[in-house]
Amino acid sequence: MASPDLAAHLSSLLPSSHPQLRDQVLPKLLACIHDIANTLRTSPSVTQIGTANAFGDNQLNVDVLAEGCIRKTIASCPSIVTASSEEDPIEKASTPSSSPGDEKYTLAFDPLDGSSIIAPNWSVGTIIGIWDSTSALHQPPSTHQIAAILGVLGPRTTAIVALRLPGTQGTCFEIGYSAAGTMQVVRPNIKLTDPTALKTRYFSPANMRAAADEPKYLHLITRFVKEKYTLRYSGGLVPDVVHALVKGHGVYISPVTAQSEAKLRRLYELAPIALVVECAGGVALDSATGDRVLERCVRDTDERGGLICGNGDEVEQVRRALIEG
């Protein structure tokens, strides 16, 4: 059976509601992922440009190029009325004209996640959260963040899309791109599977240096090794999480310890990742508190947290190991 094209798939998911989201916002943002990938492929080098974003992070030329691609897309979608990003983390009106109809969306995005591994040409990603509101701040993520996109920029360009309207269970699917940018739904329903039925089980431990100072984390990593889990960790949040979604199993851990503070920004990384994982049937918790990531409103664009995400039973084992000890 031929894979459905994007328009047909979105029409099946949103037949009568959210027409701007269905016909403009999601298709244009997904097309933008292909544009960012082409921009990276034609950039002859990766260099610091001598400036920093508002968080103090040094900016790369490719960060700015990816940001520009998404901002251009935002300007073509009147229903996206507000936007902020890791490169420009202040929510600003994105268009002088009013949104058509009742649809008003806010975008919160990380244009290029994986700056530390992009120079050696490893896979990196783009993270986008779509909020059904004129602001993503002080809103319950579980009800107001209704869609998320994880763009994987590597040898192939792909995108994982999560869509969950209030009162629905949500869905997660994968988009593939042709060389010309034609989009096709290559997996219409992504679900994490029962790991007990799998021969290979995966773990992805971020910041392994923290294990030198935190016995709980060292013990957890040692247990994974003793139980013959397969290590899959590239240092890129998006490709490492997407690996689990492709294989049907995996657990990703970004710890928070006394010596290693939380690194992942809730608005631009944690919330979109959590929506994708939950829509695929998984669990996403803050590794510092054990709380569900999407239970907590984001009050500031620089709020940070840790992350445990993946299959529910694996996440629970990690939560107990790190928090209850």
Are 290 and 234 part of one and the same domain? yes
Q: What is the DSSP letter of 168?
A: S
Looking at the structure, tell me whether residues 178 and 250 fall in a common domain: no
Rounded average pLDDT over 131-158: 97
Percent residues over pLDDT 70 in the chain: 95
For residue 148, the cross-strand partners are 129, 162
Task: Using alpha carbons, select from 227, 88, 242, 222 the residue that is nearest to residue 154.
Answer: 242
Dist. CA 104–CA 102, nearest whole Å = 6
133 and 209 fall within a common domain: no
Residue 1 forms part of a structural domain: no
pLDDT at 45: 81
| Residue 172 predicted with pLDDT over 80 | yes
CATH number at residue 160: 3.30.540.10
Question: Is 80 exceeded by the pLDDT of residue 195?
Answer: no
Q: Give the pLDDT band (50/70/90) at residue 325.
A: confident
**Average pLDDT of span 234-246:** 96
pLDDT on residue 115: 83
Considering all CA atoms of the chain, what is the largest pairwise distance in Å, rounded to the nearest integer?
59
What's the pTM? 0.95
Cβ–Cβ under 8 Å, residues 294 and 271: yes
- Of 156, 187, 218, which residue is a domain's last? 187
**Domain assignment of residue 286, given as a range:** 195-324
Q: Which residues have CB under 8 Å from 226's CB, separation 6+?
A: none
Number of domains composing the chain: 2
Question: 23 and 92 share a domain?
Answer: yes
- Mean pLDDT of all residues in the chain? 93
Res 95: pLDDT: 66
pLDDT at residue 217, as a whole number:
97
Q: How far apart are CA 299 and CA 305, in angstroms?
A: 13
- pLDDT number for residue 97: 54
Q: Is the pLDDT of residue 198 over 90?
A: no
- Determine the pLDDT at residue 38: 94
10-66 pLDDT, tens per residue? 999 999 999 999 999 999 999 999 999 999 998 888 887 767 676 767 778 899 999
Give the pLDDT confidence of 267-285 residue by residue, as tens digits. 999 999 999 999 999 999 9
Same domain, 235 and 279: yes
Q: How confident is the model at residue 99 (pLDDT cuts 50, 70, 90)?
A: low
- Residue 270: inside a domain: yes
Q: Identify whether residues 145 and 18 lie together within a single domain.
A: yes
Which residues of the chain form beta strands (DSSP E)?
48-52, 58-60, 80-85, 92-93, 105-113, 124-131, 145-153, 157-163, 171-177, 183-187, 202-205, 230-231, 251-254, 264-265, 283-285, 304-305, 307-310
